[in-house]
């Protein structure tokens, strides 16, 4: 993620109760017909001089006003359509948001919203009293989880878009419960697609590396986690998950947020609903437990293999505990984050060349067929 590596970090955006208490468009194309061209020519040749600047200015303003009204109407319509599908999730550890996944009571959210908690409550956008929920399953590598409420009265499932059709410049709305402010909406655009970002490692997150996320300028704040990033067709294109922070100046970096794309959300959530776990992550893995190792100068010098999954990809290729991985396919691997980011761009079944330094100091290359990342 070259745009944020130098000076910005990432902050997972589930709010805590304490924070909540303290802090409490679309494009249009116009076609010019021959008569339109003629009218424009007439205005420039005589109408302006005879009527003054007022008439042409009025004629130019009317379409702009109409477009603004149409855009505003689209915003209102989307909010009315989607906001009832966005819920507030409270746990004994904090607060976040969720999206009604189906009419059976399943709600999808971020794993870091529910991680480490033992009690869960869901409040609908209508403001009704919170109802108890149970954790169906979670998948920390993609920072996703599903909870279920037994009372399905009033639930309105969201409509999920095909996120492969998302374009830079698309207008989007972020809906959720930032800082505990229920059913809040902010607007922005899709700033970029296909980003790979890594979450900070803390008590609620293993420091997951998320591939192909959507970058947005819509304001995302603590409590937005698990909510909805929505297009102007009223479809969910992603789940807001991270906001960038400026590590040099401190605080948030305005207008830089990230959402897990809807195609990943629906795939993982459906597996959690069906099986209680993820059986096909579509994420590549080496099958090793790793740590960053440092060289004599104290700088990161590779990834040390602590354990090898028996029968896994690395073991099958002859990689053993005590080895140090220093590169894959010619790309240097100085630390665990670099390895996670690179693997996030690959698929199970891919064959890669791994540079290895053995425990005895010898070096070599081994060919590894990547396996599938498990929970």
Catalogue the active-site residues.
112, 143, 225
Q: Are 120 and 135 in contact (CB under 8 A)?
A: yes
Residue 167 CB partners (closer than 8 Å, separation 6+): 190, 193
- Rounded-to-10 torsion of CA 363, 366, 370, 375: -30
Which residue reads 């067709």 in tokens? 233
CA 84/CA 125 separation, integer angstroms: 5
Q: Are 288 and 337 in contact (CB under 8 A)?
A: no
215: which 2 tokens?
Answer: 């970058």
- Least Cα distance to 113 among 230, 247, 203, 211 occurs for 203
Residue 374 CB partners (closer than 8 Å, separation 6+): 278, 281, 285
Three-state secondary structure string covering 59-81? HHHHHHHHHHHHHHHHHHHHHHH
* Residue 189 burial class via C-beta count within 10 angstroms: exposed 0-12, middle 13-18, buried 19 and up: middle
Any bridge partners for residue 223, and if so which? Answer: none
């Amino acid at each position: 993620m070259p745009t944020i590596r130098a000076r910005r970090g990432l902050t997972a955006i589930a709010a805590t109760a304490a924070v909540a208490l303290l802090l409490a468009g679309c494009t249009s194309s116009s076609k010019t017909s021959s008569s339109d061209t003629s009218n424009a020519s007439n205005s420039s040749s005589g109408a302006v001089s005879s009527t003054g600047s007022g008439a042409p200015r009025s004629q130019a303003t009317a379409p702009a006003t109409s477009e603004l009204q149409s855009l505003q109407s689209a915003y209102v319509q989307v909010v009315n359509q989607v906001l009832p599908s966005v819920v507030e999730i409270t746990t004994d550890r904090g607060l976040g948001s969720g999206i009604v996944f189906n009419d059976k009571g399943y709600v999808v959210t971020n794993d870091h919203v529910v991680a480490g908690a033992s009690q869960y409550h869901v409040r609908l956008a209508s403001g009704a009293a919170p109802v108890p929920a149970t954790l169906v399953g979670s998948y920390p590598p993609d920072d996703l989880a599903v909870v279920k409420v037994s009372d399905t009265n009033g639930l309105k499932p969201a409509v999920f878009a095909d996120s492969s059709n998302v374009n830079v410049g698309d207008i989007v709305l972020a809906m959720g419960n930032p800082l505990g402010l229920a059913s809040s909406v902010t607007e922005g655009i899709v700033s970029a697609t296909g980003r790979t970002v890594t979450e900070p490692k803390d008590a609620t997150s293993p420091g997951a590396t998320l591939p192909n996320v959507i970058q947005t300028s819509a304001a995302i704040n603590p409590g937005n986690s698990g909510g909805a990033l929505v297009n102007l067709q009223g479809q969910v294109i992603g789940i807001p998950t991270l906001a960038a922070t400026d590590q040099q100046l401190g605080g948030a970096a305005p207008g830089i947020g990230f959402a897990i794309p809807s195609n990943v959300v629906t795939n993982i959530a459906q597996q959690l609903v069906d099986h209680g776990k993820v059986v096909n992550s579509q994420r590549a893995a080496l099958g090793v437990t790793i740590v960053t190792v440092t060289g004599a100068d104290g700088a990161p010098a590779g990834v040390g293999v602590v354990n090898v999954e028996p029968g896994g990809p690395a073991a099958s290729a002859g990689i053993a505990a005590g080895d140090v991985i220093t590169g894959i396919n010619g790309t240097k691997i100085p630390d665990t984050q670099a390895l996670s980011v690179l693997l996030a761009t690959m698929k199970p079944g891919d064959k890669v060349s791994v540079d290895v330094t053995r425990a005895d100091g010898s070096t070599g290359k081994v060919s590894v067929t990547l396996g599938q990342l498990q929970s």
